[in-house]
Chains A and B, each alone.
Chain A
């Protein structure tokens, strides 16, 4: 057998075989993938690391160099931030607002999404468009418009911190609707409803015993996204002169920059862990969280 009839088939000496080319191509693609992931990781992690160093390293800011990376880490500033009474008041307000916004959003959007799916699937694209409107209108326009209206018809409404709830519910609507809509499509809601009805179930029974339990993952996703939106929202609260966690953080950070940063990082970590725990819990129950369409 000559060199042209090697085990690899009709290969010419000196030229890479197709398999070799494929291997090289694969290696190249893998390198590119890892490179991209590394770049993405650095893009997210480097600012967090910089924040962490600023907040938790007990050395002058001017000395924060590579050589001092491991020097004097301490949770002292976080401790200082956590002992501020204003923090807990603001956190309580934000959590209350988040819970109320979640309840309002689900009460409005869950029946709407179910009805659109079962009775009028052709309305779905319209609803998808309509639910995006809150993001088209800038918060300032929304606040000014709504404030002007309520000042004349119900001035007491804007004086309460709870006046933020409808704004937050509206602001989180694009997330919530999409998470619910994706969940409904994933469970093939229309057939489930028909199956339950053929077994004698009324519409409220269908909703409570079939649709909601099977959409728990989507409902959790929708609630998590609403909560995250509310806990991080600054513009509405600031424009309506309310003190929530984000507005408190901005003010506190001006007074104590490093303690404020420590607090912000701790909140970020806490939110991530909480969402991760919920997702894990749902996975264990065989329910995947979906936010398709967002």
Chain B
């Protein structure tokens, strides 16, 4: 286990700035997910950590020791790649053994370690199979076992689940988290899937255009996004107008509880702000023709049944499009074009203002 720190790291490819002044600290035993869209610099950050790229500026420290120029083979990091990267000429067992043999570990220790890892990753029955004889999930489990066999100081996971189908992905995601906690290895997990990041990470670092926008535990990221980009990237959000009347902030005509942080002096001064409201914080109620008469109510634009909830998209006269997630039977009678009343739930918790 080790503490990893990237300080003022910059990396350019030609005229493209892949990373601009990145500061990132990963505590010992922690799992941090680097989350962001394609081209945000998350993979570059991971490759810099692995030693496959050299930063143009800045330093990479492992337990306060500078490893910026240390070649990959001497860093004692483990890495799992998106496309498995198992050695095709070796069986699952031989793949797991590879790093230990390279490090000239004793035969008995190799056998014991590999047996234990094959058991932990539930690969005992596949030990003598070659990569082309295994499924994607099995291959990635071998890659994971291979990466942790050498007891790395840092485990780097480069979109390890993106080549797998949904069911296997979810299962393996849990397995990665279990293994990481069992072994206690400091881990950096790169992904563009916010659900994956939220599910496995102790903290999620959201990146955009080579810049770290926010790094926080998943709950904080969800409930208190630091920027509009983070709010939009981590789940769906509605950006609604908020006005201050008397002592309370109002959204969609009703008072809301407001999170204190992040409100600009300008918003406080003018009494106008943008509220970041998640679909599940909204409540939708169908209006009777009598209730709808004489007003310009919100109307249902589309209804999508998504299993546990129904996603309803509304057109609202005072706002742009509004997305609301309605639970169970509440959405059963909603049809496209129906007039509805939409408001922030009283139990929704604090709304973030920007």
Contact = CB atoms under 8 A, between A and B. Distances in A.
Q: For B75, B81, B89, B132, which residue has the most chain A Cβ atoms within 10 angstroms?
A: B89
A267 B77 CA distance: 54
A192 B143 CA distance: 12
A192 B102 contact: no
B79 A198 contact: yes
B106 interface: no
A194 B79 contact: yes
A132 interface: no
A194 B72 contact: yes
B130 A196 contact: no
Contacts of B92: none
A281 to B, nearest CB: 15
A95 B146 CA distance: 44
Given A187-B88, A194-B85, A210-B87, A200 B50 contact: no
A200 B85 contact: no
Given A194-B50, A194-B72, A199-B150, A188 B83 contact: yes
Interface residues of B, number: 29
A214 B89 contact: yes
B87 A197 contact: no
A198 B132 contact: no
Given A194-B50, A213-B89, A214-B89, A200 B83 contact: no
A26 interface: no
A193 to B, nearest CB: 9
Contacts, number: 66
A241 B73 CA distance: 52
B87 A214 contact: yes
A197 B132 CA distance: 22
Interface string B79-97: 1010101111100000000
Contact of A191 (B73, B74, B85, B130): B85
B98 interface: yes
B85 A192 contact: yes
A209 B90 CA distance: 10
A200 B76 contact: yes
A144 B305 CA distance: 80
A205 B99 CA distance: 11
Contacts of B77: 198
B97 to A, nearest CB: 10
A202 interface: yes
Contacts of A187: 88
A195 interface: yes
Contacts of B86: 195
Given A191-B81, A191-B83, A286-B132, A201 B102 contact: yes
Interface in A165-219: 187-188, 191-192, 194-202, 205, 209-210, 213-214
Interface in B49-65: 50-52
A188 B85 contact: yes
A200 B52 CA distance: 13
Chain A: interface size category:
10 to 19
B88 A197 contact: no
Given A187-B88, A195-B85, A200 B103 contact: yes
B210 interface: no
A196 B81 contact: no
B150 A200 contact: yes
B78 interface: yes
Contacts of A188: 83, 85
Given A188-B83, A194-B72, A199 B89 contact: no
A123 B313 CA distance: 52
A202 B132 contact: no
A197 B73 contact: yes
B31 to A, nearest CB: 18
Given A213-B89, A214-B89, A198 B50 contact: yes
Nearest to A213: B89
A214 B95 CA distance: 13
Given A188-B83, A192-B87, A214-B89, A197 B72 contact: yes
Contacts of B76: 200
Given A191-B81, A205-B102, A286-B130, A198 B87 contact: no
A192 B77 CA distance: 16
Given A194-B79, A194-B81, A199 B130 contact: no
Interface in A28-72: none
A200 B102 contact: yes
Contacts of B71: 197
A198 B103 CA distance: 12
A195 B103 contact: no
A253 to B, nearest CB: 45
Given A205-B102, A286-B132, A196 B79 contact: no
Contact of A201 (B73, B146, B147, B156): B73
Contact of B79 (A192, A195, A214): A195
A285 to B, nearest CB: 9
B265 to A, nearest CB: 48
Contact of B102 (A199, A213, A214): A199
A213 B90 CA distance: 9
Given A198-B50, A198-B79, A199-B73, 13 more contacts: A192-B85, A192-B87, A195-B79, A198-B75, A198-B147, A199-B102, A200-B73, A200-B103, A200-B150, A205-B102, A214-B88, A286-B130, A286-B132
The 8 closest A-B pairs by CB, nearest first: A199-B99, A195-B85, A198-B79, A197-B72, A213-B89, A191-B85, A200-B102, A201-B102
24 contacts: A188-B83, A188-B85, A191-B83, A194-B52, A195-B81, A195-B86, A195-B87, A196-B87, A196-B102, A197-B52, A197-B71, A197-B73, A198-B75, A198-B77, A199-B73, A199-B78, A199-B146, A200-B73, A200-B74, A200-B99, A200-B103, A210-B87, A214-B89, A286-B130
